[in-house]
Chain A
């Protein structure tokens, strides 16, 4: 059984079906990418998996536990954490305190949490910025902070929501390296992405969503050559890039 199993989830908003009958799995150390044109339902799917939206049908099983009806904080405490597409740092406090909030998911002890936070920040190359106020960070650092906070909760699975949006190529490379490191340490990663370079270089498997339904699944190379996928993207991202 895979670490994260999403079974036939459906989510409606009024008359609109945002996600229909979606199933996917992500296993330890795997990187699975969820792609699709704008409005395909990727972030909605994320929100359902992470507990922000209630699924209208289907279930989400994580580590053997049915988490479909759980609250986001309960899901996080079980080891499944998410980041946000538009990063949400705790602006009024510094970087270290931000990450400590995540670290406190696993401990009640101040010193332990602080040590963990420092360790994670070092891992992500932010060791020098621990005392900076989160509000003063440039976008690339804020993205890193977002990941750092999530990592500090010692997750076994992470949902990364369009982490690369708005980054320069060199910053994208850095984040790619970080994600690879995380995956190598055994964390299961499900990411939503628009930037195809990231998908091609990172993903073990790719799922393509279109109008809320899965239209293709396979390795990056397989998916990229799938005529249905090309069709769906026509006029959107340049798939061959």
Chain B
């Protein structure tokens, strides 16, 4: 037996007052495409959370940790580029800034990364404000915006290469050897996984709340048609800036954690467009840019497959990851512009039509 799986108008809500507990639960979880995506997101989180109980292999645990981090970062990019449609190509700038802030605070000032992450988020958010301001003030759109962020990336990389305070070309290592909770250094991978999942859960919730709110609708309106949105009273400069700041802050925090996990940061490695494709873009693109589920689903498809492919083809041959990510991007755009989440959406819509209709 199935309940009517349709989205809610005010009239329909009234109709749902009755029904068995089972029907109510199914309706709560899968009643709309939004709630379905949310349900699947949390299912994937739970899947990742129980992973350590099925394997102790550090290799596989590591892949899951990275998938979780990529999923979280994917959400942060999704808010800027997916919901609001601003193609921020060099999102990795925020990750880098968050990472550097966290590590510098830890190494030089012994500040706990738990705080360092948040400071990293603030630093990244400030960078976001500056970038948004400049692009709005000077009217940089689409291609010009993308080129501008690439130029920033290159400029920042050069600056950081020469800046000894942050280690210059050599980079910085996380300076502690002994495990410590307060310093976010662990011998085992599992604690990192749970921190990553904590971030991911927060990210999922933030993304969902935004999506359902006035802010989210305005973001989407701007993506769909900026001038029409302005004609309807949407303060487009403000909302575009807001989306960049939110995405940047989240990415900054994610970057801080990511650097604590990999314990090393250097300009060439982090101000790097290839890294941007792997960490930021590949997941949401293949998962479905602009959807709720896309970033998470995409990251969980991306990273493990890339690793598997790399494992099966000869060890030590470089380029496999890039080939995988590049192919994902190309095939997604060519054949599945709405990503895997888009395919699932089509399936959902077919399944939710009453049997009498088509």
Interface segment, B37-45, B192-200, B214-222, B294-302?
Answer: B214-222
- Give A100 to B234 CA distance when docked, in angstroms: 12
List chain B residues, Cβ under 8 A from A74.
235
Q: A73-B233, A130-B9 are in contact. Are A90 and B214 (CB under 8 A)?
A: no
- Give A96 to B217 CA distance when docked, in angstroms: 11
List chain B residues, Cβ under 8 A from A42.
none
- Give A130 to B10 CA distance when docked, in angstroms: 11
- Give A201 to B226 CA distance when docked, in angstroms: 34
- Residues 71 to 124 of chain A near chain B (Cβ within 8 Å): 71-74, 76-77, 81-84, 88-93, 96-97, 100-102, 104-105, 108, 110, 113-115, 118
List chain A residues, Cβ under 8 A from B221.
90, 101
Decide: B228 and A84 in contact? CB cutoff 8 A: yes
B187 close to chain A: CB less than 8 A: no
Decide: B227 and A101 in contact? CB cutoff 8 A: no
- Give A71 to B229 CA distance when docked, in angstroms: 12
Q: Quick one: which of B217, B224, B225, B231 has the most chain A CB within 10 A?
A: B231
Decide: B290 and A71 in contact? CB cutoff 8 A: no
B272 close to chain A: CB less than 8 A: no
- Closest B residue by C-beta to A91: B224
- Give A104 to B213 CA distance when docked, in angstroms: 10
Measuring CB to CB, which residues of chain A are less than 8 angstroms from any residue of chain B?
50, 52, 71-74, 76-77, 81-84, 88-93, 96-97, 100-102, 104-105, 108, 110, 113-115, 118, 130-131, 149-150, 153
- Give A130 to B11 CA distance when docked, in angstroms: 12
Q: A73-B234, A110-B214 are in contact. Are A101 and B10 (CB under 8 A)?
A: no
| Total inter-chain residue pairs, C-beta < 8 Å | 84
Among all A-B residue pairs, the 9 with the closest Cβ atoms: A105-B233, A76-B233, A90-B224, A88-B228, A72-B230, A104-B214, A101-B221, A73-B230, A102-B232
Decide: A50 and B234 in contact? CB cutoff 8 A: no
Q: Quick one: which of B7, B228, B236 has the most chain A CB within 10 A?
A: B228
B212, B223, B236: the one within 8 Å of A73 (CB): B236
- Give A77 to B213 CA distance when docked, in angstroms: 19
B217, B225, B227, B230: the one within 8 Å of A104 (CB): B217
Decide: A81 and B228 in contact? CB cutoff 8 A: no
Other than the given A73-B232, A113-B214, A149-B232, 16 more pairs (CB < 8 A) read A71-B235, A72-B231, A73-B236, A76-B230, A84-B231, A88-B225, A88-B228, A89-B228, A91-B224, A101-B221, A101-B229, A101-B234, A102-B232, A102-B233, A108-B214, A115-B10
- Give A114 to B227 CA distance when docked, in angstroms: 22
- Closest B residue by C-beta to A93: B220
- Residues 219 to 275 of chain B near chain A (Cβ within 8 Å): 220-221, 223-225, 227-236
- Give A115 to B13 CA distance when docked, in angstroms: 13
Decide: A131 and B9 in contact? CB cutoff 8 A: yes
List chain B residues, Cβ under 8 A from A118.
9-10
- Give A96 to B182 CA distance when docked, in angstroms: 48
- Give A50 to B230 CA distance when docked, in angstroms: 11
Q: A93-B220, A118-B9, A118-B10 are in contact. Are A150 and B214 (CB under 8 A)?
A: no
Decide: B233 and A97 in contact? CB cutoff 8 A: no
- Give A96 to B214 CA distance when docked, in angstroms: 13
- Closest B residue by C-beta to A104: B214
Decide: A93 and B218 in contact? CB cutoff 8 A: no
Q: Quick one: which of B9, B214, B290 has the most chain A CB within 10 A?
A: B214
Q: A110-B212, A113-B214 are in contact. Are A93 and B224 (CB under 8 A)?
A: yes
List chain B residues, Cβ under 8 A from A153.
232-233
Instruction: Determine how close the nearest CB of chain B comes to the CB of A137; give it in whole angstroms.
Output: 14
List chain A residues, Cβ under 8 A from B10.
114-115, 118
- Give A183 to B235 CA distance when docked, in angstroms: 27
- Closest B residue by C-beta to A146: B228
B217, B224, B231: the one within 8 Å of A76 (CB): B231
